[in-house]
Amino acid sequence: MFVFVCAGCGSELTAPLSQVSLPIHARQKYGNAARLPVLMESGTFAVDPDPWGGPWRMWDEIDPGEAEARGIYAPVRSLSDGAPGASVIAPGDIHGTRLIPEMRGIACCGLDGADGPNMACGTCDLPVAARIDDCSLWQAVRLSPDAVRRVPVDGVRAAPLSWSELAEEGEKTPPFEPIATWAGRFAGSSHHWSWSPQWEAAAGHALAHLLVAAQGQPVEVPGGLTADVFQRALDALLPAGVPKRRAVLAGPGRPSPDAGADILLVPVHPRTGESWSPVGPSASAYRVPLPLGVWLWLDSPQPHLPVPATGRLPLDVLRDDPLPLLPLRLFRADRRALQHTLVRLPAARSPWLRAILENLAQGGLTDLF
């Protein structure tokens, strides 16, 4: 367990926190005027290895060697020159700070942290963090790595759950959920039923890996919900034909993948950030990471509504429960998550993946993303 203290005066700024893996959707910008919830679970923090916020440099100002040294292997519009390594926490876990009004920026409905720290230490006034709560962004506080220090505190931290424990106790992430939106200044908020933002971000991240694993060949994923999430985009982005590279779900509690599986869709440990690894003939297959909650739902989908345990309703009895709510559109992976992930994979140097990235950057493929 750790607390974060001000690097200037040593004042405590957070509750005791334990480290977990950074959620894949941490940088997601979802929809328009959406009211997203808190990113981090209370009592936890995660380290973002990438820079965040200004100052920014356009791609033509950056030497390709410098970009690759920073883990960027394909052109992007711009790169942040902010400090990497910010610790991300829930807004409710910070204390002893005040907002800096002049650093509000030009965000729409709240704060976006794009202009740098907007929270100062309440004791010495050193800018220490950026509060993020604008519409379409996950609510979080990003602690500036050069303005805070991490101090160990007494406390018992349990060892990470094993994969078998996670398979039994892990929380599933439903693919659909109500999305709250700002309906207007006087109308308050409204809701609509949609695909989960977490699923769209997870799919964008995983799709980047699937494209790399495809090696320019068609890819087939399992039917059902997995196909709803990935197959349409894969068929559009990859060439048609046979043979196809085969992707299968693999992970704790499932039978060992057969040797014919080229690609494995595997869960990521929510605390360590490590992907599940197989043993045996499939150990050399390409592993595509999925958040545990998403993987668990794909592995064992839940019914939309409860059904009678035995028997059927009598013929003269009408059901009074509503039909399951479903989104009004086909699934679309998150475009930004796909781009952010793909440019950070060395395979993005290849011409055919560069062509996909250029199409995305120019606003193409709007029916897919």
Q: What is the pLDDT along the chain (369 residues), one digit of tens a residue?
A: 999 999 999 999 999 999 999 999 999 999 888 999 999 999 999 999 999 888 899 999 999 899 999 999 999 999 999 889 999 999 999 999 999 988 877 778 889 888 889 999 999 999 999 999 999 999 999 999 999 999 999 866 678 899 999 999 999 999 999 888 876 554 555 777 899 999 999 999 999 999 999 999 999 999 999 999 999 999 999 998 877 899 999 999 998 888 789 999 999 999 999 999 998 888 889 999 999 999 999 999 876 544 444 566 666 666 666 666 778 889 999 999 999 999 999 999 999 999 999 999 888 888 888
Q: Do the bridges between strand 97-99 and strand 86-89 make them parallel or antiparallel, or are there none, so unpaired?
A: unpaired
Residues 71, 346: contact at Cβ < 8 Å? no
Q: Give the residues across from 192 on adjacent strands.
A: 179
pTM of the model: 0.90
Strands, E assignment, 81-172 = 86-89, 97-99, 119-121, 127-132, 140-143, 148-152
Which residue has 């699923």 as its token pair? 199
Q: Give the residues across from 173 on adjacent strands.
A: none
d(CA 264, CA 12): 44
d(CA 329, CA 306): 24
Residues 357, 342: contact at Cβ < 8 Å? yes
